[in-house]
Chain A
Amino acid sequence: MGFTGLALGAMLQRDSAANSNLWTPPSGLPHLPAKAKSVIWLFMNGGVSHMESFDPKPMLSKYEGKTIAETPFADVQDPKKLALERLVVPDGNGNQRNKIYPLQVGFKQHGQSGIEVSDWFPHIARNVDKLSIIRSMYTTDSNHGAQTQFHSGRHMVEGSYPTLGAWVHYGLGSLNDNLPSFVSIGTREYWNNKDGHYLGPAHDAVPLRIDPSNPLDFGKPERPFSVHSQEIGLNLVRELNGLRGVEYPKDPALAARVASYELAFRMQQSMPEALDFSKETAETKALYGLEQAHCRDFGSQMLAARRLVERGVRFIQIQHGGGGAGAWDAHGGLKANHSKLALQVDQPIGALLIDLERRGMLEETLVVFATEFGRTPGTQGVDGRDHHIFGFSVWMAGGGLKGGVVHGATDELGFHAVENRHYVTDVHATILSQLGLDSRKLEIPGRKRLEIDHGKPITAIIA
């Protein structure tokens, strides 16, 4: 195990590796030519209804009020198909709902591609030609442990496994010497609040607040201490550490410690600047909706994400509606819930896509819009939908992926993914391949990964 997360990273590791046959961590260089450099990972906690977002199903309105058995699609409830489910936290949710609930929102075709998107997401819809929409996702945990499953690829009962961001952080060096390369914004429930797991806490995302005055934990002195005093101190610390090198020459840990202090100091200086929007134009701020109360918070996160990507941050993980089950968990009042939450995220996400493109950044930035599962075609209570693992949608944009494509499909009711089915790790594999990483080369001894952990890149959406 030894030292992990060395600030000098790859260089030191290479030095020590040269002398021995022991296994060594990755070099920090991609295994394959990389098409994307950064990832913005948007995760909607609670479970977004796929039918009311990116996979409209008019049959739901046609068969409103009928039981599934009364529709021509009764076979969706074939027990063999339902065996996919693996529940861990049964709580009265995560059940099949039999009475068809009509679509709660209209939808239209958009863009050159003519892809249908629900009316709750007009800004994202305007950018539909940038998106690869995957309408054939499935997972296996029908409760919110599926949040961690979407990040790590493993069902909650199997333990805790590194998340995608941690693998990227582990596999690739930083693009920037002043900022952490893996950050996390927003609340995460306990089953999904760490990333590194067996890769070590050095590969956990650094929690970030969109507050230039206090963005990082311990990000500024908690007692009065001027920048000048701190500089005197840090110069002294560097000098004293250097003097220790006389008695302890070639100590890699000492060198790494010195480097980590320099990075920390730069981080402390750079992060507030990265999150300071004062130099953004009024047009940009308006684009992200910063002047509107309903989307100011998420708009700030999107604008921060763009600024962080510009500054070379590798993986930006943003949780929307995190905590507890997650805000999108519309067991009741789906229309009120989804329309309100969509209003919070839609304009900022649309703005992010536009802004990245016009700055020429979308090519190398992969934007992911994901959620832990979809929602049932049937109604729960009078006006809600339950958790649904058998078919749901995510989309990705930029980073060398195709735009304006729909990949995979659910059946007429939106129940099962029936065409080009993808487990969550296929999304991971796609992202890793765009970043030039081969997940098999990242394996570490004693931690055998399964086929399903690696997933397969969704080649159909790669440009």
Chain B
Amino acid sequence: MKTPPVPACVLRVALLSGVLSLAPGLHANSDYLKSVKPLLQERCYSCHGGLKQKGGLRLDTAALARKGGESGGVVSKRNDGTFVLLERVSSSDPEERMPPKHEGETFNLAQVQILREWIEAGAPGPADEKPEADPREHWAFRARQRPALPAQRAGEWGRNPVDAFLAREFAREGVVPQREAPPESLLRRLYMDLVGVPPTLEEIAAAEAVPVEQWYAATVERLLGDPRYGQRWGRHWMDIWRYSDWWGLGAQLRNSQKHMWHWRDWIIESLNADTPYDEMIRLMLAADEIAPDDLQKLRATGFLARNWFLFNRNTWMEETVEHVGKGFLGLTFNCAKCHDHKYDPISHTDYYRMRAFFEPYHVRLDVFPGESNLEIDGVPRAYDGLPDAPTFRFVRGEESQPDKSSPLSPAVPAILALGSLKMTPVVLPPTAVEPERRAWVLEAHVGSAKKAVENAVAAMSKAQEKLAAAEKRAADSEIFKQERVRSESPAETGSASIKPATEKAASVPPAASEENALEEARAELRVAECAADLAKAELESVEARAQAMRALWESGAEVGELRAAAVLAERSAAVSKQQQLVADAALRLLRVTAEKRPAVEKAAKTAAEALEKALKKRNDPVESADTYTRLYGAKWTPTRFLSSGKDDPDVPFPKVSTGRRKALAEWVTDARHPLTARVAANHIWARHMGTPLVANTFEFGRKSPAPSQLALLDWLASELVDSGWSMKHLHRLIVNSAAYRLSSTLAGGEASLARDPDNSLWWRRTPLRLEAEVVRDSILALAGELDCTQGGASIPASAQADSKRRSVYFYHSNNERNLFLTTFDVAAVKECYRRDESIVPQQALALTNSKIVHDMAQRIAGLLYASHGPEATPTEESFIRNAYAYVLGIKASAEEVAACSRGMAAWRQSASASEKDASALARDNLVWALLNHNDFVTLR
């Protein structure tokens, strides 16, 4: 438990008089390195160390502490027997006390005593103590140099330069690389890693037929060219870039955007095309300024649109700054939101200057070819809607306390500047400012209007059928009534056994219900007819407006008669709309309860009056000032920052974009940037090799010590940049290395294990727990059921149970995540720079009990059984061996075969007579067991 803080006034008196007596048991350890230095480091170094030297004082070595600052010594005894440092850390005056208010935790009694004992002993420290380095010297902030390749002797372990770097460390640390993994493991590794599904039986057989050297490199090439590569690696980058479908409360959009999947498709397509990484970053940050008229590329700005938040601009901006920093640069800008960064040279102001790059941007949906209804489709994208929005530093990070005295312009932290940023405003093409001018937009409106007509006409036919049925029932009921009248006159028939016309008619008082139904069906048809009329009028209106708009763009001015036609068509559509409302009210009147009748009557009256007005308006002459409603090419996504209970005022589409984000993107992707390529290379390495070179993938600042394989990281980063930022180039280098092909076993590696228990030198492969998507996709793929179709809207939760699509296409938001995938640590949408690899009982339950595993196990067993050809009945042993190879990528040992055989026998025995073929059941169950094997969810 925390020691309570010292009441400051008491302490001050005590210290000044030098008679502080401690409670028993509170004897501090005065060992400098163990007790004092960590305290100073935590509380003082950020202002009195390598990063800053406030008051000329440094405390990062004992010697520097003894030296003192501009105003003299801090650990030397003054005449009154006190010490400056002790006085400052225990002062009751908040203006005096160190660390200053909001800058760090106050020293408590025990901690002050630790300092006191050290100071009274003369503030000793080791002679060879090194001060903190200049932040510019931090490994990740220094310019990246292409390292020289370590010399490799012929015959030495290794296949390519990746191995040369590793081998140098092996030799230095005295570890020996493990043997190469068996070919079947390598094949499975390549498939799972590069395309996210295991090889097929044919692919396994083809590989088995020849030595590994004959297929390995070719398989790498084939898989890197496979469109499933983009689906597999797209998901990795979607983790890092925080992909999320929209979410909110019920139907209200609160976070991210509708149709965010366009961004997902852009990611997958870009990876398949090996679009350079730097180009991808530039487009994600600023496609609207780089390619303002290219809707395909504009999809990239989903990266920014995803941060949209209905209620609070500040939250939105904070997320943007934080994750641009962490995702692309490995910098924790977020730590400088309230005060200067404690470890890195990022000032409080720098944080807001970074925000200023994003301050103008807003989000809109652009019409996508073929559909004008933005509820159905549209591309979410960023644009500079607020070019003049000022950025202020928030005092202590509080949005309620902006420092309005000095608006901040965009800039990057000085230490990382690469010359001055070129911030040139971008004059946007007319099609970006007026997106309705895009070739497909008017067409999309006409197309959608035509579709609406089709739907309305179809609905009308349905209503006609319904009416016809109601009329028939009423007619039947009329007959029934007459017959009943007859039956009720015993004198006439002498019998009461007349069958009612219909069952229903027998149970309900016929006359009233049939008449009502008839009347309702007529009213419904009237509504449907009006709806069809409206759809047709809308189509005419859309066509007339489209024509007028085209003419306007062609001639540069409104063409009088076309404008008039558009105005009139729109008025006609307005009449149709009101007619529909009148019909609708009439229908509601038939259905309403007595209690609610007055309200509906009132609505009917209003609708009738509005119709009158619309009719009158339609007949008015078209004046020169009359205009028609332009067909839109995009709509901004309205926010509710103002708490007015309704949408905020529109944010327009300006003609000029500020060029801020383009400038930022150019800085981030500058080949000289010390961080960008290193961060990307580290991510790619981590996903191939299981663990990253730099342990914390989003933190390359001073908290992150230089990785032991810095030269390898720098070499990979250089290769990335020099190959034209080709990610596939980096994949090739890594997966073709000998290191990638090592076995993950510890057997025979005892000596290496003792020297490097965490495998930080990669002397063996680190086994991986497969990601959630790979687990599900593999189960389906083994059964031959996986649907690898590319692209399209996300599969909603309701359709997922029956869907065979790849998991990357499942709807995935903060609110809605597939349960099976969640069990296997699917990405959290708010932040996921690395997946967790948990091992929990819920995973066992999902794999033992879920429908998908049971159903697919059966199919996989059937597929394996059939693979032996129609003429041959496989022996049990060959079935088992095949199943092992196919499901697990393992050559089964004799013991494993025997164990499986025993299991199958037990299942056969337990099968009841009513169950299907006991042998088939045993095979299904065996596959089920292998899907539950540790090595199914593990990449060895």
Contacts and interface: CB of A to CB of B under 8 A. Distances in A.
Nearest to A160: B830
Interface string A221-265: 111011011101111110111011011111101101110110111
B459 interface: no
Interface stretch (B153-161, B605-613, B815-823): B815-823
Contact of B839 (A3, A160, A250, A438): A3
B326 to A, nearest CB: 11
Contact of A200 (B335, B645, B825, B929): B825
Given A19-B757, A221-B854, A248-B940, A257 B910 contact: no
- Bin chain A's interface residue count: 35 or more
A98 to B, nearest CB: 19
Contacts of B828: 160, 194, 197, 201
B347 interface: no
Contact of A251 (B2, B643, B767, B928): B767
B896 A243 contact: yes
B933 interface: yes
Nearest to B930: A240
A90 B841 contact: no
A244 B929 contact: no
B845 A237 contact: no
Given A20-B758, A248-B744, A250-B746, A89 B311 contact: yes
A438 B1 contact: yes
A230 B849 CA distance: 10
B247 A190 contact: yes
Interface stretch (B559-567, B615-623, B899-907): B899-907
B845 A219 contact: yes
A159 interface: yes
Contacts of A236: 899-900, 902-903, 929
A452 B263 CA distance: 38
A173 to B, nearest CB: 14
Interface string B743-786: 01111000000100110000000010100000000000000000
B745 A240 contact: no
Given A233-B929, A268-B845, A260 B840 contact: yes
B315 A157 contact: yes
A233 B925 contact: yes
A232 to B, nearest CB: 5
B839 A260 contact: yes
Contacts of A228: 910
A433 interface: yes
Nearest to A437: B1
A236 B922 CA distance: 12
Given A226-B910, A239-B899, A88 B311 contact: yes
Interface stretch (A4-12, A115-123, A285-293, A350-358): A4-12
Given A4-B837, A248-B746, A223 B851 contact: yes
Contacts of A19: 754, 757-758
Contacts of A201: 822, 825, 828, 836, 838
Interface in B825-864: 825, 828, 830-831, 834, 836-846, 848-851, 854-855
A222 B850 contact: yes
Nearest to B315: A157
A279 interface: no
A126 interface: no
A260 B855 CA distance: 23
B873 interface: no
A209 interface: no
B932 interface: yes
A356 to B, nearest CB: 26
A456 B299 CA distance: 48
A313 to B, nearest CB: 14
Contacts of A438: 1-2
B249 interface: yes
Best-surrounded residue of A218, A241, A457 (most CB of chain B within 10 A):
A218
A326 B758 CA distance: 47
A6 B839 contact: yes
A218 B903 contact: no
Contacts of A220: 849
Contacts of A246: 893
B1 A32 contact: yes
A7 B844 CA distance: 11
B929 A457 contact: no
For the complex of A and B, the 10 pairs showing the least CB-CB separation, nearest first, are A90-B643, A264-B844, A264-B841, A236-B903, A19-B757, A202-B838, A223-B854, A5-B838, A218-B845, A257-B934
Interface of A: 1-7, 16, 19-20, 22, 32, 83, 87-92, 157, 159-160, 180, 189-190, 193-194, 197-198, 200-202, 206, 216-223, 225-226, 228-230, 232-237, 239-241, 243-244, 246-251, 253-254, 256-258, 260-261, 263-265, 267-268, 324, 433, 438, 440, 445-446, 448, 451, 454, 456-457
Interface of B: 1-2, 105, 247, 249-250, 311-312, 314-315, 318, 335, 400, 640, 643, 645, 691, 696, 699, 703, 744-747, 754, 757-758, 767, 769, 814-815, 819, 822-823, 825, 828, 830-831, 834, 836-846, 848-851, 854-855, 893, 895-896, 899-900, 902-903, 906-907, 910, 925, 928-930, 932-935, 937-938, 940
6 contacts: A5-B840, A200-B836, A240-B933, A248-B746, A257-B938, A454-B2
